[in-house]
Amino acid sequence: MTHFVFSQILVEFLFRLTFGVAAAMILTSSRLVTSGFFRVHLWVLLGVQTLAALALYSVPPTASAGHGVSSGQFWLAVAAATCSYVGAVIWMYEWPAAGKIAIGLVAGCALMGCWLPAILGTERLMAYQLADKATGGLVLGLVTTAMLLGHWYLNTPTMKLEPLKRLIVLLVAAVAVRALVSGSGAAAEAGRLLALAHGPTTSWYLFVTLRWLTGLISVAVLAGLTWQTLKIPNTQSATGILYAGVIVAFIGELTSQLLSAEAVYPV
- Do 117 and 129 lie in one domain? The reply is no
- Do 158 and 230 lie in one domain? The reply is yes
* Mean pLDDT computed over 155-167: 93
- Do 129 and 71 lie in one domain? The reply is no
- Do 89 and 192 lie in one domain? The reply is no
* Mean pLDDT computed over 249-265: 93
Q: Express each pLDDT in 49-104 by its tens digit.
A: 999 999 998 876 555 444 478 899 999 999 999 999 999 999 999 999 999 999 99
Share of the chain above pLDDT 70, in %: 94
* Mean pLDDT computed over 26-48: 97
Judged by phi (left if over 0) then psi (alpha if -120 to 50, else beta), residue 156 lies in beta
- Do 114 and 180 lie in one domain? The reply is no
- Listed residues 61, 87, 122: the one ending a domain: 122
- Do 89 and 132 lie in one domain? The reply is no
- Listed residues 122, 157, 179: the one ending a domain: 122
**Under a CB-based contact definition with an 8 Å cutoff, are residues 141 and 239 in contact?**
no
Q: What HEC string does 143-172 produce?
A: HHHHHHHHHHHHHCCCCCCHHHHHHHHHHH
- Do 147 and 202 lie in one domain? The reply is yes
pLDDT confidence of 154, banded at 50, 70, 90?
confident
Comparing C-alpha atoms, which of 242, 159, 259 is closest to residue 204? 259
- Do 212 and 175 lie in one domain? The reply is yes
- Do 256 and 147 lie in one domain? The reply is yes
Residue 120 pLDDT exceeds 90:
no
247 vs 192: which has the higher pLDDT: 247
- Listed residues 99, 122, 145: the one ending a domain: 122
201 vs 170: which has the higher pLDDT: 170
pLDDT at 156: 87
- Do 132 and 263 lie in one domain? The reply is yes
Cis peptide before 233 (omega within 30 of 0): yes
Give the predicted TM-score (pTM) of the model: 0.94
pLDDT confidence of 1, banded at 50, 70, 90?
very low
pLDDT confidence of 119, banded at 50, 70, 90?
confident
Note down the domain range covering 229: 125-267
pLDDT at 65: 43
pLDDT at 66: 40
Number of domains within the chain: 2
* Mean pLDDT computed over 120-132: 80
- Do 233 and 104 lie in one domain? The reply is no
Q: What is the CATH number of the domain that holds 174?
A: 1.20.120
6 vs 93: which has the higher pLDDT: 93
pLDDT at 60: 64
**Under a CB-based contact definition with an 8 Å cutoff, are residues 20 and 144 in contact?**
yes
- Do 253 and 266 lie in one domain? The reply is yes
Number of H helices and E strands in the chain, helices first, is: 9, 0
Residue 242 pLDDT exceeds 50:
yes
pLDDT at 189: 92
